[in-house]
Amino acid sequence: MTAPALSGAALADQIARRRTFAIISHPDAGKTTLTEKLLLYGGAIHQAGSVKARKAQKHATSDWMALEQERGISVTSSVLQFEYHGFQVNLLDTPGHADFGEDTFRTLVAADSVVMLLDNRKGVEERTRQLFDVCRRRRMPIFTVVNKCDRVGEDPLKLVSDVEAELGIIAVAAHWPIHMSDAVHGTMFRGVYDRRNKRAFLFERDEKHGADKVATTSIALDGPNDPKLLEALGNTDEALQAVEKLAHDIELLDMAGHEFDPAAIASGEMTPVYFASALTNFGVEPFLEDFLPLAPAPVGRDSNAGRIEPSGEAFTGFVFKVQANMDPRHRDRVAFLRVCSGRYAAGLEVTHVRTGKTFKLAPPQQFLGRERAFAEQALPGDVVGVHDRGSLRIGDTLAAAGAPRAEGGKLLEYVGIPRFAPQHFARILSKDPLRRKALDKGLRELSDEGAAQAFFAESMMGPVPIVGAVGMLQFDVMVHRLENEYGAPCTLEMMPYRFPRWVTGPEAAIRRLGEAQDLTLLRDSKENFVLVFRDEWRLRWATDKAGEQGLVFHTEAP
Ligand code: G4P
């Protein structure tokens, strides 16, 4: 049954309650743990596997590939959806490993805000900084969570000022940790103080290591010095010390810190800071409660026909990720689509703008790790999986008739989905000559997916497959998937190239240049010519020569 169309006001309400965000962090800061806890609080799972249990199973809810499980890293982005207190949450899970930047960066384009997760001993780390820069450029609202507060870390005051100094963003403590010593456990994370609402949340330690929601007492206060807090903490010497420390820190923050400013948060100039322990669930719920109302609902997105508002009536959306073989039992390909305007509903006829082909939308699929569910409809801000036989590519726009048109009358296309030039190249050597066809198919499909890019060198023996990747780990993923998903076992031989340039111009001139100075000429999977260079010296030389011969170099596929 198709869901009935929504009236304008009902659609506006639905858009207003949507929150689409991603978590960015350096590996090991606790992203997987936090993701799992958000699902626990969102009711999407009923018990969180403790990290130990998860390690034993080598499996977290958002991981699905065997390789992820073997390595204990998260390779693919997935989309997790749940409801929380009236909000419809779309959590885009980004890969954590440093080498999977490409996929992560593209996922950020589909998000409206980000949660920046920091380890309380390490603060801002390299990977955090890189991802932060991408969000900053897009002026995305950024919410900071300092994790692992159950163990002693850096002084929170230092962590907040490091965020400011290292990232150049104004950091304002929204919550502040309450630590208290205890003869048995040493320093304990007892709760958080909500500065704006003058409220303390105190957590009860249990023996379940965060599998269940944590029992929390919420107390309205006149300020950190309110005797109610001391009383709630047990009125002991240790409680007094904890309250004095809290009052001291809050006074410093009030005097020397910045004013909380929702407009500055919305424009990405200010980040509110929260303190939590994803492992024990402490602080997770107070964070969610504060974060969701502050985080932006879906906003307008840029296209070649101008800015498209989510309230626009006609359906539009763009593909930010393609994933083949999500379910090994059904060999399929799913394109992840961010809905930007209108309503995605089964049976709706849409145009694949790049090719001009039209097709009818299937029921939207929503994801919870391995599980797929069919929803009735998807609205702006939602991310859905579209089954596809191979025509959809990253960056493609789908639009219903009636959507705005660009100059020339063609339906709009969304802009700004980043592409990255590979920096490493390897020749692929098939271990089984009989599987050569499967290998070519796998290379083409994985290349469309953005897992790595496939190229071919011409040779007397026929085209030699070469893969290019932004990070070295992408090669391992590629080899693993070629063998496991396409039955095409292969090995890699690294090549010394670092800089690819797509070349356009007369073919004879391109070939002449390719033969000069020991350069290597390749074709990409769309038959475009690509020259690959070992060093910048050769690249500069060839750039000069290309200009003289009427050739044009491009840093990405034309
Ligand atoms: P990631 O996805 O960001 O890479 O991090 P992940 O959640 O896998 O967490 C990395 C490690 O940090 C895990 O330890 C996890 O238990 C731990 N961790 C996550 N959140 C917290 C927290 O709030 N407090 C504490 N104390 N630890 C946390 P692990 O994989 O078991 O490694 P190990 O610590 O046992 O060596």
ipTM, two decimals: 0.97
CA-CA distance, 199 to 286, in Å (whole number)? 10
State whether 177 and 315 are in the same domain.
no
Beta bridge partners of 317: 339, 398
CA-CA distance, 439 to 433, in Å (whole number)? 9
The closest residue, in CA terms, to atom 24 on ligand 1 is 148
Sign, Cα dihedral of 144, 145, 151, 155: positive
Structural domain including 348 reads 301-409
The span from the first CA to the last CA of the chain, in angstroms, equals: 43
In a domain, 8, yes or no: no
For tokens 């509110």, name the residue: 272
Element housing 219 (H / E): strand 216-220
Per the structure, the count of domains in the chain is 3
For tokens 């958000």, name the residue: 38
Residues 6+ apart with CB under 8 A from 33: 51, 147, 278, 279
In a domain, 511, yes or no: yes
CA-CA distance, 327 to 371, in Å (whole number)? 10
pLDDT for the residue numbered 275: 98
State whether 307 and 274 are in the same domain.
no
State whether 21 and 128 are in the same domain.
yes
Mutate to test the pocket of ligand 1, among 23, 24, 25, 28 (most ligand atoms within 8 A of CB): 28
Distance between Cα 153 and ligand 1 center (Å): 14
pLDDT for the residue numbered 273: 98
Cβ of 279 closer than 6 Å to ligand 1, yes or no, is yes
Cβ of 31 closer than 6 Å to ligand 1, yes or no, is yes
The closest residue, in CA terms, to atom 11 on ligand 1 is 28
User: Domain boundary at 354, 385, 409, which?
Assistant: 409
State whether 88 and 232 are in the same domain.
yes
Mutate to test the pocket of ligand 1, among 24, 33, 39, 150 (most ligand atoms within 8 A of CB): 33
The closest residue, in CA terms, to atom 26 on ligand 1 is 148
Please give the number of the atom of ligand 1 that sits closest to the Cα of 29.
3
CA-CA distance, 423 to 440, in Å (whole number)? 22
Cβ of 150 closer than 6 Å to ligand 1, yes or no, is yes
Cβ of 120 closer than 6 Å to ligand 1, yes or no, is no
Cβ of 428 closer than 6 Å to ligand 1, yes or no, is no
- Where does 361-463 show beta strands of DSSP type E? 365-368, 371-374, 377-378, 383-387, 397-400, 424-430, 453-457
- C-alpha distances in angstroms, 445 versus 95, 274, 326, 433? 20, 41, 13, 19
State whether 107 and 183 are in the same domain.
yes
The closest residue, in CA terms, to atom 7 on ligand 1 is 30
Specify the amino acid at residue 104. Answer: T
**b/e map 229-262, b = 16+ CB within 10 Å:** bbebbeeeebbeebbebbbebbeebeeebeeeee
State whether 436 and 402 are in the same domain.
no
State whether 306 and 281 are in the same domain.
no
pLDDT for the residue numbered 64: 40
CA-CA distance, 95 to 77, in Å (whole number)? 6
The predicted model scores a pTM of 0.81
Please give the number of the atom of ligand 1 that sits closest to the Cα of 25.
3
Nearest to 495 by CA among 462, 520, 471: 520
The closest residue, in CA terms, to atom 9 on ligand 1 is 30
Specify whether the CB–CB gap between 288 and 19 falls below 8 A.
Answer: no
Q: In sequence order, what DSSP letters do the residues of 489-532 get, joined into one string?
A: -EEEEEE---EEEEEES-HHHHHHHHHGGG-EEEEETT--EEEE
The closest residue, in CA terms, to atom 17 on ligand 1 is 30
State whether 489 and 369 are in the same domain.
no
CA-CA distance, 237 to 252, in Å (whole number)? 23
CA-CA distance, 76 to 62, in Å (whole number)? 9
pLDDT for the residue numbered 10: 86
Residues 6+ apart with CB under 8 A from 491: 428, 429, 431, 479
Mutate to test the pocket of ligand 1, among 51, 58, 145 (most ligand atoms within 8 A of CB): 51
CA-CA distance, 145 to 171, in Å (whole number)? 11
Q: Which two tokens stand for residue 370?
A: 């391995």
Phi-psi region of 24 (alpha: psi -120 to 50; beta: other; left: phi over 0): beta
State whether 189 and 227 are in the same domain.
yes
CA-CA distance, 67 to 74, in Å (whole number)? 9
Distance between Cα 51 and ligand 1 center (Å): 7
In a domain, 263, yes or no: yes
In a domain, 4, yes or no: no
In a domain, 1, yes or no: no
User: Domain boundary at 240, 259, 294, which?
Assistant: 294
**Which residue ranges of the chain lie beneath pLDDT 70?**
1-5, 44-78, 95-102, 207-210, 324-332, 365-375, 418-420, 517
The CATH number given to whatever domain includes residue 447 is 3.30.70.3280
Nearest to 50 by CA among 59, 371, 42: 59
Cβ of 25 closer than 6 Å to ligand 1, yes or no, is yes
In a domain, 193, yes or no: yes
State whether 77 and 221 are in the same domain.
yes
Q: Which two tokens stand for residue 254?
A: 């009030």
CA-CA distance, 432 to 392, in Å (whole number)? 30
